[in-house]
Amino acid sequence: MRIIILNFLYIFFTISLVYAQENLKVNNIEAKELYEELRCLVCQNQSLLDSDAPLALDLKKLVLYKLEQGLSKEEIKEFLVERYGEFILLKPTFTIKNILLWVAPFIFVLFGFFLTFLFLRKTPVSKEEVFTLTEAEKEKLKKVLNKDIIE
């Protein structure tokens, strides 16, 4: 009797494995997006999508299962962060803690423009210095031009 039960369990287990393999197909866009944003924790530096490690396969199964249960992407991420920490997120959270990371690129650009502004202001702007005539010169120019036309 015991053997029969064990056999039965074994068969059930293999079938469910095969079924799970079938389900691992990346056909679900949401699942794929999640795989890309989650880190395979035992790999050197790979996302779940790019990993064959047993843990990655298990996590992929978990993600699919949670998606089938109707959880949203954010809920699944929260669930995983609770267990594995923020290390699992390849995209750092958009929170006050990581604010430096997210705003820095734009601060760099603004700082660049600010420096350029200082540079251009420090050096006299050529347009006014070189190309603008004073009132007296304009008068003179007018005279010369008029003269030319008359002659």
Residue ranges in contact with other proteins by CB under 8 A? 14, 17-18, 21-22, 24-26, 32, 36-37, 39, 43-47, 49-50, 52, 85-92, 98, 100-102, 104-105, 108-109, 112-113, 116, 120, 123-127
Q: How far is CA 30 from the centre of its chain?
A: 16
Structure tokens at 47: 């996302």
| 28 contacts: CB under 8 Å, gap ≥ 6 | 64, 67
Q: Which is nearer to other proteins, 13 or 65 (CB)?
A: 13
Closest CB 79 distance from other proteins, rounded Å:
17
Q: Residue 134 corresponds to which amino acid?
A: T
Please, which residue, 65 or 102, has the CB nearer to other proteins? 102
In the bound state with other proteins, the residue whose beta carbon lies nearer, of 52 and 148, is 52
Q: Is 61 in contact with 53 (CB distance < 8 Å)?
A: no
